[in-house]
Chains A and B, each alone.
Chain A
Amino acid sequence: MTAVSDPNQLADLLAEATDTRVNLDFESEGMTLNMGPQHPATHGTLRIVAKLDGEQVISAEPICGYMHRGYEKIVEVRTYPQINALINRIDWLGSFANEVPFILAAEKLMGVEAPPRAQWIRTILFEMSRVANISLFLGDFGLQLGGMTAGFYAFRDREHVLNQIESATGGRFHPNFDRIGGLKDDLPKGWISDSHVAMDKLLAFCDEMEDLLVGNEIFQSRTRGIGIIPADIALSYGLSGANLRASGVDWDLRRDGCPPGLVYDQADWKVWTHPDGDCFARTWVRLQETREAAKIVKQLLDTIPAGPVMAKVPRIIKVPEGEAYVATENPLGEMGYYVVSKGDLVPFRVKIRSASFNNISIVPWVARGAYVPDLISILGSLYFILGDIDR
């Protein structure tokens, strides 16, 4: 073994050694378990290499990169509208939500503000994509813990939201609807009343899920007290979204750091937190968030102002020189874009701060000392999208 001379490194090692959750028997051989890259419980191509001592996990290291598409490089050779079409595909379940922080960052650099109607519709679609995203999480998490029915229910009821997104934007999955300075189009006729109906269905779906999944005894015994993340650890890993709120941190960018251009202050809603920080808390917070999102949509639908949906912007978009970081509370957590512009058609550098990357980086910490079946609960409840990790 090489000697450690660097005091910083020594401190890190010491911190790791004093982490006594794992009662290691260093003499035993152990076993290495490889999950993935194709594994039903990792939705996508995440690979986990876990070292086991019996049933207990000594270390679990996620291996990413199977979905690395080189976003940060290829956006440097795309114009701003082209990027807008591309970044839908980072977090593919809440596509519209990906566009918003990037567009807001570009708008900030250009000094453009979208008209009120566009802000309203943006917020509505943002929350709709949150509903579409998290409703699938509820079903998928049930599926991973062995409850197939939840998955079928989620796929069934998610279609109601996707229909609304599709009828407004033309894209079921990847809307590409947001524009610098507003939106591509206005809403179609009858959309508002249809959306009310869809949101009512989703609220009923949440009640159904609460009975079917969250209230289920097997579900609770597989999630309660599993994968506990304390608040200070969560903060130092940069966990965001429901994962952070489930650890008791009352922090929501929609309420606390909402960038101009979204109208969350126009609706009456609540940020839910849970003190436990375990897998159950994360699921529960997400369930409440789906409800809140549906409520926000319903309130905003009633107050959409009249007016244009597009501000005056030049036809060929050149973003002035500058740097801007805009983050919003996406379905998975904080998603931010650090845009550096040199006054060109294309951005000079775009750093994409995606939520899942930080959220999943805690897996080596939280999986230590867990049991193998709990690994599925932990991974499922941290809720990641592969495209959001690897980009």
Chain B
Amino acid sequence: MRTWLSVGRVIRLSSADTTDATASGASAEEVITDEAREAVLAELTARLGDAVLGSHIRPGDDLWVRVDRSAWRDAAEAAKAMGFTFFDYVSGIDWLPSPFGRDMDAQEDLVVSGAEPKEPAPIVQGYAGGETRFQVIAHVYNIATATGIHFKADVPDGDLTLPTWTGVFAGANWHERETREMFGISFDGHPNLINMYLPTDFQGFPLRKDFPLLARRVRPWPGIVDVEPMPGVADAEEGDAE
């Protein structure tokens, strides 16, 4: 008879029938350092030199590397040479805290947490640090070792450009088009940087934090009009939420 671990304890799963132990499966048990990913980082640093500006390793899980934007294409080439041949995605992050504050959140949240003061919060970048409001993030994967690298690059406000990855990973083509459309970050040397989704006369860059969702301003949250308490639990739920 099999016994089960108690609720809430983390069960790490190993791979089912891979013969070579993968980094994520094998090294997961209470390991604080992650040799496989540190080796990847070391090799990447050796290849790129000073261009590696920051890094972050979550043991047994993921690796973030921030590179200088002039070395953006070199990073892709280095990764590809190291066996990271599976291209996952390229996208952007706008680290500006939403200037609309709670206005842009669901009305329900206003009820739950109350209004928040609208003072501009500082820009705080995530893993592997950063200096600019916009960052480009990309993910490549090594399917032999089952490890991935998240590349990040700072893009300064005044000059929102990066070298393209299309020559290294052909799949970057569409992703860079999407990033250009959503954030306004353009890619040098991209063969066809036209809109992916939106009509050509669309104004603004939707995924920037200062792009307002106008429908939220003119319409109340539709869910608020037909709130129907569940039979029996209505009072308890109301009391909890307050």
User: What is the interface of chain A, defined by CB distance below 8 A to chain B?
Assistant: 6, 8-9, 11-13, 15, 64-65, 68, 70, 72-74, 76-79, 82, 108, 112-113, 115-116, 119, 232-233, 235-238, 249, 251, 255-258, 260, 262-265, 269, 305, 307-308, 311-312, 315-316, 322-325, 327, 334, 336, 338, 340, 342, 345-346, 349, 351, 353, 357-358, 361-362, 365, 390
Could you tell me the distance in whole angstroms from the C-beta of A377 to the nearest C-beta in chain B?
22
| Extra contacts besides A263-B13, A362-B170 (12): CB < 8 Å | A76-B104, A116-B11, A236-B171, A249-B143, A264-B16, A323-B127, A338-B89, A340-B93, A342-B97, A351-B89, A357-B175, A361-B171
Question: What residues on A are CB-neighbors of B86 within 8 Å?
Answer: 235, 238, 251
B166 contacts A by Cβ under 8 Å: yes
Nearest B residue to A340 by beta-carbon distance? B126
User: Given the known A-B contacts A238-B171, A361-B174, are A265 and B15 also in contact in the complex, defined by CB atoms under 8 Å?
Assistant: yes
B146 within 8 A of A: yes
A and B contact pairs by CB, cutoff 8 A, 5 listed: A12-B189, A77-B104, A115-B7, A238-B171, A358-B87
What is the interface of chain B, defined by CB distance below 8 A to chain A? 2, 4-5, 7-18, 22, 24, 61-62, 64, 73, 85-89, 91, 93-94, 97-98, 104-106, 108-109, 112-113, 124, 126-127, 137, 139, 143, 146, 148, 150, 163-164, 166-171, 173-175, 182, 188-189, 191, 195-199, 206-207, 211, 213, 216, 240
Nearest Cβ in chain B — how far from A8, in angstroms?
Answer: 5
Taking a contact as CB atoms under 8 Å apart, the answer to whether A233 and B170 are in contact is yes
Contact of B213 among A73, A324, A334 (CB under 8 A): A73
Cα separation A115 to B6 with both chains bound (whole Å): 8
Instruction: Indicate if the CB atoms of B126 and A258 lie closer than 8 Å.
Output: no
| B137 smallest CB distance to A (angstroms) | 7
Closest residue of chain B to A391 (Cβ to Cβ) is: B197
* Known contacts A12-B191, A238-B87, A256-B143; is-contact A308 B16 (Cβ 8 Å): no
Closest B-chain residue to A233, C-beta based? Answer: B170
Q: Which residue of A lies closest to B168 (CB)?
A: A236
In the complex with contacts A232-B85, A238-B88, A325-B150, A73-B13 CB distance below 8 A: no
Cβ of A41 to closest chain B Cβ, rounded Å: 21
Given A8-B164, A12-B166, A238-B171, A338:B4 Cβ within 8 A:
no
Q: Is the CB of A15 within 8 A of B167?
A: yes
Contact of A116 among B5, B15, B207 (CB under 8 A): B5
List of B residues within 8 angstroms of A390 by Cβ: 197
A236 touches B174 (CB 8 A): no
Considering the chains assembled together, what is the distance between the CA atoms of A308 and B174 in angstroms? 44
Say how far A293's CB is from chain B's closest CB, in angstroms: 15
The reply to whether B105 and A346 form a contact with Cβ atoms under 8 Å apart is yes
